[in-house]
Structure 1
Amino acid sequence: MSLDAEGDAAYQPRIVVIGGGTGLSVMLRGLKQKPIDITAIVTVADDGGSSGRLRSEFEIIPPGDIRNVLTALADVEPLLGKLLEYRFDKGNGLAGHSLGNLMLAAMRDITGDFVTGVRELSRVLAVRGRVLPSSDQALVLHADMEDGSHVEGESKIPKARGVIKRVSIEPSDARALPEALEAIRKADAILVGPGSLYTSILPNLLVPEITEAIVESTSLKMYVCNVMTQPGETDDYKVSDHLKAIRNHIGEDLFDYVIVNNSEIPEQVLVKYAEQGARPVELDRDEVERHGYKVIADRFVLFRTYLRHDAEKLSQHIYQLVESWMFKKR
């Protein structure tokens, strides 16, 4: 049972989750089962696939990551969830688009505003929590590579298969969505990740007002590290390398806790991922703790077609950590 500082048994901890991509959606499916108040702040730098086409043709915030999060948090029949994720494989102008992306584009036109459209679609889907873009501007992601080359576009950065030195957003002074800033200020806990470090997580943290609000917050701050490295993005990265990249970009050690998988992964799974150039992210605990982070390590993975975080176990650890933090603050 959740308690606030005055002992109100009806109070639910307010957790802000920041990121994008498949990993975030998987985790949210577990978190929504807990008695917590969730606000998901989602990246708006996607420029590939259906999202990129809609972004260009309709001049809207790319809807793909937001659609994934809405689907994860929705309290609907499984068939409706599949409908939102349905992707047309033929049709002039339709091939490649997901129905959920088209619905978000339509809601923008119906309501006159993308954020309002997301809010209204959330109501229709009985979403457990709030889903907010990090900015009301579509961002362009840039990457400077170690070899001196420059790559423009979120979808092109991993494909370059170089070593990333630094990423930046355009415009560099992008406005944060006011509702997102308000959620961060009121949060009992802030959770960043899991997700692609340079293309899903950092685009949010590079919105200046977002990071300023996180730094100023006295809430519990957690980072959920990816299970596997990502080819063309985090090749050979250890856990400390993820944290170092964030620190180098924003100039702060943001987190109190780092949550990381430490279980063995079956050899046949490792071979499958190695063929794609990926390997497990190594926990170099001494280096992580040297920078003041507390480590929560456990078996956090499941394997079906791909490795995914164990949403139930991960969310239970997060919930217990938040409850303990709040109890100590009372």
Structure 2
Amino acid sequence: SHLPPRLGGMVLAGLGAAAVLAAVYGAYRSVTSALVPEERAGDLIVQRRRADRGPRIVALGGGTGLSTLVRGLKEYTSHVTAVVTVTDDGGSSGRLVDELGILPPGDIRNVLVALADMEPLMEQVLQHRFSRGSLAGHSLGNLLLGALTEVLGDFEEAVRQSSRVLAVRGQVLPSTAQPVRLCAELDDGTVVRGETRVSGSGRPIRRVFLEPGDARPPAAALEAVAEADLIVLGPGSLFTSVLPNLLIEPLRDAIRASGALKVYVVNVMTQPGETDGFSAADHVRAVLEHTGPGLVDVALVNTGPVDPARLAAYRAQGADVVRADLDAVARLGVLPVGAPVVASGDLVRHDPRLLAAQVLRLLLDRGLPRARFFDLLWLSERLRRDLEPRPRPRAAALLGRSLPGSGG
């Protein structure tokens, strides 16, 4: 009935090792619970202090995609540099470019608002678009950037001062301070000029390029890339938001030379007129064909389901889900990572919280050499909690009370 001495020793050693591991894990959870307190007073202060010691991230893009990403990232780190494309020539931005001779402010406005610490009402005011009179179509934020540019005499300085006034967490930079025009060669050899014509050409795009071709980025953008732990390309319109930044040669070369992890976030949906029928691999291939090798380490692809009713509405307008052909991405020499990052709601787009958490998880998996031990624990535990599936509310009857909005 007794164990042989050797076997008994092995059992005791195993139990001892298990006890040590349990103690270490318990200590780990105790530390991280203290570092990431549950919803209680002081939680916001702790998060802000930790964010001040977070990883250095450079995000490049434009449109709503970039603002979606940085809105999520600012909850984890205050060291976010958003490099924004400046080729928009439509709507309010196009009018201000023509009338004031400034760079297009629309995408930069969206990113400033996304990174700012402000009350919801203030955000609504800055994003307000006038509907009547000579200001019809203009947003207040665009006009503010235009006014600051005239007062200060410099668009970059106007963006810097706007960042200071809005308490932006990080910095927002145009990809170049020079006026540039986006051009495209279509599949039939036709060349179209101007972003609105590129996106509205109705024909497959063979390549895009900038005029002039010698645009230079701000020195601050090159410095941020050199110091980055993580560089994120996208999400956003492939040919009109993501690639224009990468067509600026010094910026592209700096990204290639950087030791940071480089992640390309593939769009959730195709875009009519730009990426009709594109799969994830088609998106990655287009980036590599325009930039050459070494610019993308990982492609993050949505593998979460899209609600059929929402999908039907998009398909009626010519858009569809980007197919997650991960094996084809791998054959391009890029590591594919599939994850559910789509948001709920009427619009099919990335969820800021899920997207930010997933790209940071990729960074943690690679390793953060500059991170302090407890900062690393805090970030790891925070990501674990944010990536846990959130259960749907149970039925009101089971809870014995009415849920908000249930009519009780």
TM-score by length of 2: 0.77
SS in 1 for 2:274: coil
**2:354 equivalent to 1:313:** yes
Q: Equivalent residue for 2:267?
A: 226
Deviations along 1:97-130, one digit per CA (max 9) or x if unpaired, are 1100000011111211110110001110011110
Q: Offset of 1:147 from its aligned partner?
A: 1.8
Cross-structure match for 1:157: 198
Distance in 2 between the 1:253 and 1:234 partners? 23
Deviations 1:190-231 (A, max 9, x none): 000000000001110001111000011111100111000000
What residue is the counterpart of 1:294 in the other structure? Answer: 335
Q: Which residue of 1 aligns with 2:145?
A: 104
For residue 15 of structure 1, the aligned residue among 33, 39, 57 is 57
Judging changes above 3 Å, is the alpha-carbon distance between structure 1 residues 291 and 328 closer, same or farther for their aligned structure 2 residues? farther
Q: Is the 8 A contact 2:54 2:76 kept in 1?
A: no
Partner of 2:374: none
Matched residue, 2:68: 26
Aligned to 1:183: 224
- The CA distance in 1 between the partners of 2:219 and 2:121, in whole Å, is 34
What residue number does 1:5 align with?
none
Q: Greater Rg, structure 1 or structure 2?
A: 2
Work out whether residues 15 and 36 of structure 1, in 8 Å CA contact, stay in contact via their aligned partners in 2: no
From the superposition, tell whether residues 234 and 9 of structure 1 become closer, same or farther in structure 2 (CA, over 3 Å): closer
Q: 1:148 to 1:123 in 2, by over 3 A?
A: same
Query: Contact 2:52–2:77 (CA<8 Å) still a contact in 1?
Result: no
Residue matched to 1:132: 173
**Inter-partner Cα distance in structure 2 for 1:112 and 1:159:** 34
**Separation of aligned partners in 2, 1:13 and 1:261:** 24
Q: Using the TM superposition, name which of 316-325 and 273-282 deviates more.
A: 316-325
Confirm or deny that 1:211 pairs with 2:211.
no
**Aligned partner letter, 1:102:** L
Give the length in aligned residue pairs: 324
Query: Does the 8 Å CA contact 2:51/2:75 hold for their aligned counterparts?
Result: no
Q: Does 1:197 align with 2:230?
A: no
Distance 1:327 1:109 in 2: 42
**1:233-248 to 2 correspondences below 5 Å:** 233-248=274-289
Task: Spell out, residue by residue over 1:158-178, the C-alpha distance to the aligned partner (whole angstroms, 9 max, x if none).
Answer: 211111011110110111111
Of Structure 1 and Structure 2, the greater helix share is in: 2
Distance 1:10 1:267, change over 3 A: closer
* CA distance in structure 2 between the aligned counterparts of 1:238 and 1:9, rounded to whole angstroms: 35
Offset at residue 249 of structure 1 (A): 1.2
Q: Does 1:174 align with 2:215?
A: yes
Deviations 1:276-307 (A, max 9, x none): 10000011111111222222211111232211
Task: Select 1:83's aligned residue among 88, 106, 125.
Answer: 125
**Runs of 4+, deviation exceeding 6 Å:** none
Partners of 2:82 and 2:172 within 8 A in 1: yes
Contact kept? 2:229, 2:368, Cα under 8 Å: no
Report if the CA contact (8 A) 2:51-2:78 is conserved: no
* Match for residue 108 of structure 2 among 66, 89, 96: 66
Structure 1 counterpart SS, 2:263 = strand
Q: Which has the higher contact order (CA 8 A, sep 6+)?
A: 1
**5+ residue gaps, structure 1:** 3-7
Give ranges in structure 2 of 5+ residues lacking alignment. 1-31, 36-49, 372-408
Q: Which residue identity lines up with residue 312 of structure 1 in the other structure? A: R
Instruction: Name the SS for the 1:268 alignment partner.
Output: helix
Q: Is contact 1:12-1:35 (8 Å) kept? A: yes
344, 361, 376: which one pairs with 1:303?
A: 344
What letter corresponds to residue 142 of structure 1 in structure 2? Answer: C
Structure 1 residues 75, 173: closer, same or farther in 2, change over 3 A? Answer: same
Which protein is richer in strand relative to its size? 1
Give SS of 2:336's match.
strand
Q: 1:169 to 1:48 in 2, by over 3 A?
A: same
Shift of 1:321: 2.1
Give distance in 2, aligned partners of 1:140 and 1:150: 13
Task: Please state how far the C-alpha of 1:10 moved relative to its aligned partner.
Answer: 6.8
Q: What amino acid is aligned across from residue 46 of structure 1 in structure 2? A: D
Identity of aligned residues (%): 49
Give the whole-Å Cα distance in 2 for the aligned partners of 1:36 and 1:15: 9
What is the CA–CA distance in structure 1 between the aligned matches of 2:198 and 2:333, rounded to whole Å? 31
Shift of residue 9, structure 1, vs aligned partner: 11
Letter in 2 for 1:60: I
